[in-house]
Structure 1
């Protein structure tokens, strides 16, 4: 009898540690849930003001999610509806993409042509107060809810920017309509500005390229894609924009906790600009989907990345609807560039760093040239003698004030935007080099 029972006893002993661990884990979970229930009941019965069960449960859920990372959160039914509208390219608010940092609301980037943009809000600004009420203690969803409001109403943001003293900016709320793609001709270069990645972006890019090709014809020598202060958006749109400039190869991969949940997205044949030189502009306000585009084009050697290091948001948020209760935004994976580099916290480092600056023309006065000297030899290919100066004229090294009516050198295209000017100069230089090499 003992011999018959021995195999069963040995099997039970082998399984026991796993069984005991599972039971212990369940016991710990039950203990934690009991703790939650005790706190819930105590708050409901003893808090100084009456709080509904719905408020307590939603606050608990939001606290659980927001404690994970700055981008996970609970969306109530209204917030979920707003988010769905936003991805379509029109929504109400101030026009800023934000995250949380050290308890404050941090501006990832202002959106072009919105109230916040026009009021002077900048990427990297920390919002410390909303209508004189401190932000500390609020989660991101609460802060965003307070910034929303009736169209036409004002809100005062207290901003901390670098080493400056905090200052207030008054912004009038408005309906935010995002035209995610704008374009124009810069000489013989096609300039495309992408402000966000929403459902309008890929069709807008296709139209912009077609319009610029029609306007420039064979004269086009290169392209600039401007992703500065672009806070990101839909992954499929980032893939589509990147694919427009690639013939083949991986665009981005996403990797979750489970190794089997790794997804790779590849380009399809067809480069809409036929391999012409491409420069992508980024800065600290370029985040998420913008970094996917810049990283893929950089890794494939398809574009020169110029500007400053990007924001570094390399995590993927999945929106999980909760029927009847809004949705939860949960970080589920990380983005990786084709070379296998994670974008998270490091961002994209430009190939050529160009910080934004203001150019000021320095008046060095006019200098005399060889042709101005008495008795200077002629070029040999010109008829006539050079003009000469009177006796006692200053030496060549001397400076004299420019004569009245002397024209200054023409300003460079987009001279008010230093980073763009450098991108345009580089493309023109590449075109000139190619032309001379061909000859």
Structure 2
């Protein structure tokens, strides 16, 4: 590891020498930085020499790197060979495991979202659940990598998960069988004259699959097609280019998203390039507190361009862009390098996407018992550049008088997914000869 250390020091030294006439303030700052680096090296040497057991140098250095990045924000991280391979397999759309997106929070493993049609989703594991034990072994305090490694394994083998669900009277137990997870990011079906497109993630196939969905639904339903529902609920995000591709599918022109980095002039803008494949049909976008990142880009673009009505619950609020920076043949850096903005110049960081129509999931009987964890709840999250209205961030918990029906009453009517049913009925009311979405959205605010 010494060559790496020397390389870093040489780069730093070069930066200092480039300043021909340093100011007193900059010189003092550089001296302070060198003192801190000396302290870091002193700690490294003391640990290596005096710790009760021999410690691998690589383990110590990677621990220091991880600690450095953890002090920045929740989405910056160091990727070793295992992490890099896991990220590639997920963006390619195939990996082994249970089908869970998880994070760590104060030493606890929290479920961000289960992936559709995977062992975790079929068993009923929900966003916001906390995994406390794997095969009866406590995992509290484990690193995220350690927890993920235990959940992955040979397809066909079993694992027992103990889950604490806020509001549940006692821990829940799930016995799951590992599978090869082949993520199908887009599914579609016709519900009457409405095309429903479910997008569960943004991997390399998402854009093309979305265009295929629009084409096949248009052909299947025919001239009586009322419009489309785009379901982005519990979609944790993914690749930026795929979010742009999906948005472009439904837009004729205009900006989709912009990203702005640290420097004032470091701005990139992305625009619609192709025709609206849906032919201008009405669109309703479904989001919830699990809709994050790339999902929020799509929802925000279609909302700001007055192309769609957004309904559901306020989204997660992840408005930052991560860049993958290679550090070697098998390692890299996942670093937050920019914030993204909707076409109207809104940053969704912390506040998320606010729906045009707030629609609770009445058919989920546990919705009021589970915490609605969002970006603003994560430790060291980026602070929004503009102050966020606390009314958007905090839910007063009061029931909406417009939605009084119980899950039992809805079940008797054959409704198992109230939000989706509401979206389909809304598009159906618009009909083939509906007014432009801009007019409809104005009347539903």
Compute the TM-score of the two structures, normalised by the length of structure 2: 0.78
1:336-371 CA-to-partner distances (Å, cap 9, x unmatched) read: 1111111112111111111112399xxxxxxxxxxx
Structure 1 segments unaligned to the other structure (5+ residues): 1-14, 361-409
Establish whether residue 177 from structure 1 lines up as the match of residue 218 from structure 2.
Answer: no
Runs of 4+ deviating beyond 6 Å? none
How many Å apart are 1:168 and its aligned residue? 3.3
Establish whether residue 53 from structure 1 lines up as the match of residue 57 from structure 2.
Answer: yes
More off after superposition, 102-111 vs 52-61: 102-111
How many Å apart are 1:18 and its aligned residue? 4.1
* Equivalent residues of 1:130, 1:158 under 8 A apart: yes
More off after superposition, 183-192 vs 414-423: 414-423
* Equivalent residues of 2:197, 2:213 under 8 A apart: yes
Alignment partner for residue 34 of structure 1, among 38, 60, 69? 38
CA gap 1:315/1:100 in 2 versus in 1, 3 angstroms: farther
Instruction: Look up the SS of the partner of 1:252 in the other structure.
Output: strand
1:159-208 CA-to-partner distances (Å, cap 9, x unmatched) read: 23222243333333222100111111111111111111111111111111
1:403-438 CA-to-partner distances (Å, cap 9, x unmatched) read: xxxxxxx987x7211111111111222228849xxx
How many Å apart are 1:16 and its aligned residue? 11
Instruction: Look up the SS of the partner of 2:161 in the other structure.
Output: strand
* Equivalent residues of 1:356, 1:419 under 8 A apart: yes
Establish whether residue 193 from structure 1 lines up as the match of residue 198 from structure 2.
Answer: yes
Tell me: higher relative CO, structure 1 or 2? Use CA pairs within 8 A at least 6 residues apart. Answer: 2
CA gap 1:333/1:432 in 2 versus in 1, 3 angstroms: closer
Establish whether residue 337 from structure 1 lines up as the match of residue 342 from structure 2.
Answer: yes
CA gap 1:433/1:85 in 2 versus in 1, 3 angstroms: closer
CA RMSD of aligned residues (A): 2.6
How many Å apart are 1:220 and its aligned residue? 0.6
Q: Report the Cα distance in structure 1 between the residues aligned to 2:146 and 2:266, rounded to whole angstroms.
A: 32
CA gap 1:77/1:16 in 2 versus in 1, 3 angstroms: closer
Alignment partner for residue 267 of structure 2, among 262, 268, 290? 262
Q: Report the Cα distance in structure 1 between the residues aligned to 2:186 and 2:33, rounded to whole angstroms.
A: 50
The match for 1:427 is 427
Alignment of 1:14-33 (within 5 A): 18-33=22-37
The match for 2:219 is 214
**What number of residue pairs does the alignment pair up?**
372
Instruction: Look up the SS of the partner of 2:23 in the other structure.
Output: helix
Alignment partner for residue 123 of structure 1, among 127, 131, 139? 127
* Equivalent residues of 2:249, 2:274 under 8 A apart: no
Alignment of 1:66-215 (within 5 A): 66-164=70-168, 165-215=170-220
Q: Report the Cα distance in structure 2 between the residues aligned to 1:151 and 1:331, rounded to whole angstroms.
A: 34
Compute the TM-score of the two structures, normalised by the length of structure 1: 0.79
Larger radius of gyration: 1
How many Å apart are 1:17 and its aligned residue? 9.3
Q: Report the Cα distance in structure 1 between the residues aligned to 2:31 and 2:223, rounded to whole angstroms.
A: 73
How many Å apart are 1:49 and its aligned residue? 2.2
